[in-house]
């Protein structure tokens, strides 16, 4: 057995712990003060306990079974979600890769080398075969926290990726719900236009009969025909728009637009009351805010990694294995070899490379922090916008209902006067146009109120919060 020679001069240094040299992370604080209540939510209704938004299935608050069935298909079929999921899995794998730096590495091999020694060397003419089975054990002591910061950075990046996945998930589900209400709002318009076409056809028949009886003019007949055909054209245009929303929904649920069909269903349901919570809760409920904050943490860790480059790399090497000049004694005890020794490496001159990497990491941290601040501002803007839209549309719907009733009453009066010979068909056509426009506007407001409710849920985070982020 060959004697083992070991050097322990640097071993105490390798055993140091807790000497991390990077910056301690403190979550960024929004520059704009967080108020106690939303500006546009002063008159917002209080939601009943049954109206609370549930994580994962927030769309059930609309109590629409067809919508629920479509939303369930997104999680298993939407390709954008699969892209985001794959990105998250990559980030998780990177954590495991970086975590391996905490442990020693081992590498081995085998070689058989025939050697002919030069005759002009002191040993003279020598021929022999060298049989080697080297195994090298090495361990880099994480004295300055390089591996620690690398793992922390990859963990924060993975959490940001998980939040990105939730943001995409929320976006896809919200887009589906919005398209769904747009489609059925168009169904309601289609139903209105179809019934109006029937009414206009009857009015045209009446006008033609009056013309044949010498009571009405040809101009009245022409006006009635024009109004009828114009309304028919509007009904066709609605059909074009509906098909586009139907195709969009097909893509969202991962199906071919050529094979996907949604049966018509008139939109009649009023939007639910959406619980907004406190403004301060928004920082915990928006996945995009969580993702931005996690990227600040990742950038902070990268500053720590960059700072460790100014300190020596301390490692412990332990080459071992078997070596022999004879195949018969290759793997026997006397052929064993072993060595153990610490080492330290510190670049003495790199033309400013380490300083540049450190400056780059600091700039990346400042960039991530600014992005976080902007994300917070945008989030509050989204909530205030959708709250204002929902509140104003609700007031507009009440006014529009009165307008529809007044227009319908005016049409009845004009029609009766026309039948009695007290008015021309021009009066009737004007009343018909106003009544139809007011009814379509009422339907469109209802559609916009439902889509605004969807956008408010999306702006509030869809029932998600940071407690759902993975811990590793």
Radius of gyration of the chain (CA): 38
Q: Are residues 266 and 324 in the same domain?
A: no
CA separation for the pair 397, 402 (Å, rounded):
9
106 forms beta bridges with 137
Classify strands 341-345 and 313-324 as parallel, antiparallel or unpaired.
antiparallel
Q: Is the pLDDT of residue 200 over 50?
A: yes
Q: Tell whether 329 and 372 lie within a shared domain.
A: no
| Assigned domain for 126 exists | yes
Query: What is the torsional sign of CA 169, 173, 174, 176?
Result: positive
Distance CA 115, CA 123 (A): 13
Q: What percent of the chain has pLDDT over 70?
A: 90
Task: Show which of 345, 363, 392 is a domain's final residue.
Answer: 345
Identify the DSSP state of 321. E
Closest CA to 92 of 172, 156, 8, 12: 156
Average pLDDT, integer, range 423-446: 92
Enumerate the β-bridge partners of residue 344. Answer: 314
CATH number at residue 328: 2.20.200.10
Residue 52 CB contacts under 8 Å (≥ 6 apart), including other chains: 275
What's 344's DSSP letter?
E
Q: Give the chain's domain count.
A: 2
Domain final position from 324, 345, 366: 345
Query: What's the pLDDT at 10?
Result: 41
288 and 401 together in one domain: yes
In order, the DSSP letters of 104-160 are -EEEE--EEEEEEE-TTSTT-SEEEEEEEEEEEEEEE--SSSHHHHHHHHHHHHHHH
User: Do 464 and 420 reside in the same domain of the chain?
Assistant: yes
- Least Cα distance to 269 among 203, 177, 352, 201 occurs for 177
Distance of CA 75 to the CA centre of its chain: 13
- Give the pLDDT of residue 48: 55
Model confidence pLDDT, tens digit, residues 309-359: 888 888 888 788 777 777 777 777 777 777 777 888 888 888 989 899 999
260 occurs within a structural domain: yes
**pTM for the model:** 0.83
pLDDT exceeds 80 at position 22? no
Same domain for 251 and 132, yes or no, is: no
Contact 143, 314 (CB under 8 A): yes
Q: Which residues contact 332 (CB under 8 A, 6 or more apart)?
A: 322, 324
Residues 329 and 446 placed together within one structural domain of the fold: no
Residue 375: band (very low, low, confident or very high) from pLDDT cuts 50, 70, 90: very high
* Cα of 435 vs its chain's centroid, Å: 43
Q: Are residues 329 and 452 in the same domain?
A: no
> For residues 374 and 51, which has the higher predicted lDDT (pLDDT)?
374
In a domain, 287, yes or no: yes
CATH number at residue 152: 1.20.1600.10
pLDDT at 302: 93
Tokens representing residue 422 in the block: 């007290």
Please indicate, yes or no, whether residues 304 and 327 belong to a single structural domain of this protein.
Answer: no
Q: Which two structure tokens, joined as six digits, stand for 352? A: 């400013």
CA distances from 253 to 12, 36, 409, 419 (A): 61, 39, 44, 53
Q: What is the pLDDT of residue 331?
A: 74
Share of the chain above pLDDT 90, in %: 50
Q: Does some domain include residue 23? A: no
Q: Are residues 83 and 114 in the same domain?
A: no
Distance CA(78)–CA(71), nearest Å, equals 10
pLDDT exceeds 50 at position 463: yes
Mean pLDDT of 181-205: 94
Look up residue 83 and give its two tokens. 């892209």
Are 346 and 311 in contact, with CB atoms under 8 Å apart? yes
Which pLDDT belongs to residue 53? 64
| pLDDT per position as a tens digit, 411-433 | 999 999 988 888 888 888 899 99
Average pLDDT over the chain, rounded to whole? 86
Do 151 and 241 lie in one domain? The reply is yes
434 domain-assigned: yes
The answer to whether residues 8 and 153 belong to one domain is no
- Split at pLDDT 50, 70, 90, the class of 54 is low
Q: Is residue 203 part of a domain?
A: yes
Q: Is 26 part of a structural domain of the chain? A: no
- Domain with 125 in it: 1-18+106-140+314-345
When pLDDT is averaged across residues 232-244 and rounded to a whole number, the result is: 94
Dump pLDDT digits (tens) for 268-297: 889 998 888 889 999 999 999 999 999 999
Tokens linked to 48: 């009943």
Least confident of 48-52, 55-59, 184-188, 236-240: 48-52
| pLDDT tens digit sequence for 133-175 | 788 888 888 888 888 888 989 999 999 999 999 999 999 999 9
Q: Where does the pLDDT of residue 45 fall: very low under 50, low under 70, confident under 90, or very high at 90 and above?
A: low
Copy the structure tokens of residue 261. 């069909």
- Judged by average pLDDT, the poorest of 40-44, 106-110, 202-206 is 40-44
- Asked whether residue 25 is domain-assigned, the answer is no
Pair 89, 111 in one domain? no
């Amino acid at each position: 057995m060959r004697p083992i020679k070991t050097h322990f001069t640097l071993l105490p240094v390798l055993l140091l712990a807790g000497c991390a040299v990077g910056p301690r992370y403190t979550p960024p604080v929004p520059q704009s003060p967080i108020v106690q209540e939303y500006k546009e939510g002063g008159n917002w209704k209080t939601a009943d306990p049954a109206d609370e938004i549930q994580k994962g299935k927030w769309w059930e608050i609309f109590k629409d079974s067809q919508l629920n069935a479509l939303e369930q298909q997104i999680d298993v079929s939407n390709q954008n979600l699969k892209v985001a999921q794959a990105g998250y899995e990559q980030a998780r794998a990177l954590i495991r890769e970086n975590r391996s730096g905490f442990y020693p590495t081992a590498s081995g091999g085998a070689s058989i080398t025939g050697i002919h020694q030069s005759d002009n060397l002191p040993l003279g003419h020598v021929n022999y075969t060298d049989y080697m089975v080297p195994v090298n054990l090495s361990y880099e002591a994480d004295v300055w926290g390089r591996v620690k910061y690398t793992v922390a950075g990859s963990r924060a990046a993975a959490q940001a990726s998980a939040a990105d996945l939730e943001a995409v998930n929320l976006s896809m589900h919200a887009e589906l719900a919005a398209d769904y209400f747009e489609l059925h709002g168009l169904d309601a318009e289609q139903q209105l236009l179809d019934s109006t076409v029937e009414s206009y056809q009857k009015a045209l028949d009446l006008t033609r009969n009056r013309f044949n009886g010498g009571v009405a003019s040809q101009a009245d007949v022409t006006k009635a025909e024009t109004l009828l055909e114009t309304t028919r054209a509007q009904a066709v245009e609605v059909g074009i728009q509906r098909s586009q929303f139907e195709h969009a929904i097909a893509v969202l649920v991962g199906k071919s637009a050529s094979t996907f069909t949604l049966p018509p269903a008139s939109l009649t349901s009023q939007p639910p009351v959406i619980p907004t919570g406190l403004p301060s809760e928004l920082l915990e409920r928006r996945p995009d805010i969580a993702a931005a904050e996690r990227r600040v943490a990742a950038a902070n860790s990268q500053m720590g990694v960059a700072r460790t480059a100014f300190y020596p790399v301390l490692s412990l090497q332990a080459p071992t294995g078997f070596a022999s000049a004879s195949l018969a004694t290759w793997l026997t005890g006397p052929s064993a070899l072993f060595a153990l020794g610490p080492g330290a490496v510190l670049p003495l001159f790199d033309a400013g490379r380490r300083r540049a990497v450190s400056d780059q990491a600091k700039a990346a941290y400042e960039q991530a922090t600014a992005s976080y601040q902007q994300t917070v501002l945008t989030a509050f803007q989204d909530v205030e916008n959708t709250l204002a839209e929902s509140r104003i549309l609700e007031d507009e719907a009440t006014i529009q209902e009165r307008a529809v009733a007044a227009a319908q009453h005016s049409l009845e009066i004009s029609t009766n006067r026309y039948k009695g010979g007290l008015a021309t068909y021009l009066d009737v056509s004007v009343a018909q146009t106003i009544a139809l426009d007011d009814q379509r506007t009422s339907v469109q407001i209802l559609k916009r109120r439902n889509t605004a409710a969807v956008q408010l849920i999306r702006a509030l985070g869809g029932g998600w919060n940071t407690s759902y982020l993975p811990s590793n």
